[in-house]
Amino acid sequence: MERVNDAANHTAESVPGPPSTAPAPADGGSRKGSGSRLYPRVTSFRSRRGALTATQQQSWNRTWPKIGREVADQPLDAAAWFGREAPLVIEIGCGTGTATAAMAQAEPHLNLIGIEVYQPGLAQLVQRIEREQIDNIRLLRGDAVDVLENMIAEQSLTGVRVFFPDPWPKARHHKRRLLQPATFALIANRLRPGGVLHVATDHADYAEFIAEVGAAEPQLIGLNETTGGISAEHRDSAPIGFERPVTKFEGKAHRAGSAINEFIWGKIE
């Protein structure tokens, strides 16, 4: 079944390759280029190609230079990019952006960055941003781990959203799952105290994996029932909303009888 966020962490124009043999930086710093990273160079997205339509390309040419960038190794100045100071939220794997756009419109006080590798999916979101004049979304095209490692400062994020990442169901592919212990630790490091990590999946085995790894991250505490918390105690005081719009792909999951598991953690203050 296709995921809610069509390209969430699992579509790209390059096939996941073998782990890199490049040595780690001598100073133990972040990865530059194709060297070492938090875990071996095994990406969490699948190969996928697609061309833009003529109207998508026109919208892309008009709007992408302002709201979009390729992932790079330089730290990101979000306030300058958005033209304002506001709490920063990133969505890993925004896909075609149905949920991204709706949540940005519901939370105009937040600056939202969507990260995606699949250009046709991004192009659909770019069209909607242009058509509906959504001012609080910016887009990065590339690997989300690279963004977290190289572009986002420690304790600078108010929220991180990861909706329906690829579960890589075969055991031999579990190393490709995005939400590994190292990624949880990295996300927690980038969240400010009180910041929120919100994850959703419709894959039962991946849900068990996520629950176990998230519970083991010492910087995070559960905010909803799935993570051992009580959502009613945190919903009103949390810096980002707990609600998600249901997209057509999630509707397919419901009709197929797949349970949706929601995980919400907070960074310990």
Q: Which of 166, 202, 205, 236 is catalytic?
A: 166
Q: How far is CA 129 from CA 96, 100, 269, in A?
A: 11, 10, 34
- 73 is an active site residue: no
Which residues are annotated as catalytic?
A: 166
